[in-house]
Structure 1
Amino acid sequence: LVENRISTTMQENNITIPKKNVDVLIIGHGSKDPNAQMSMDYVVDGLKESYRNVNRCWLEIEQPDIAEGIKICEENKPEVLIIVFYFLHEGAHVKTDINNDLLPALKNSSIKNTYITKHLGTDEKMIDLILERAKEVENAN
């Protein structure tokens, strides 16, 4: 689903450079639960083969925060930076909170070409995954 959001954003914005030349920053919510960080690392690691650099940062609770995440990306001097909002719902975090941190951080950086994907949201792939997991539980019993 994350890969789909990145590819769609590249197509919609006529980004024609190879994916291997594109940097990605995934913004997650943040959690005190270490398993949440591990699951985000799993997503990041899964994308690293396809893109030049893939990093993650957090809206709250954990580090790096969004401003630091942008600084980390800036150090890599991206030709194109695709930013993924790793959120299921378009609530206050997606509509307001992330941008309150992200937009000033981008303005203060030297990164020129940034594009923001649609948040993960509801997608057929998500529905299929939920059904698949439900069947696994049903079959395990």
Structure 2
Amino acid sequence: MINKMLFIILKQLFKKPFTNLFPLAHIPDRLSTVIKKAESGELEINPPLPTPENFRGRISYDKNKCIGCRLCIRVCPANAISYVAEEKKIKVHVDRCCFCAQCTEICPVQCLSMSDEFLLASYNRKEQVVTGNNG
């Protein structure tokens, strides 16, 4: 067993990687010259691509619609949803979410939905908690 694993590991060390080094091949030598060319109109910058129709981004939560049934908590594989007993509502921890959308599919009142927001990085962990009507 160990010999077989060792052979596989050694084989993978010398294999060509599957990853594509796309950005490295197209990075200019000097970024400042590219910015100047873009400002003068010599160079056209491609606009960002739109998100696909069924994109699963940051969870949106409409607190007013929520009935507190907790079905979303039961189906969440990442344990990203917790129940706030005082309010009888939920809060979603986006930093734990795996964006599977099971909570949005099971919600009987459709208070949870997936937005097209995908830039989620933050230094503030409180920004990663959705408590209702804040996206």
TM interval, short-chain normalised: under 0.3
Q: Structure 1 length as normaliser, TM-score? A: 0.24
Q: Which has the larger radius of gyration?
A: 2
Which is helix-richer, 1 or 2?
Answer: 1
Q: Structure 2 length as normaliser, TM-score? A: 0.25
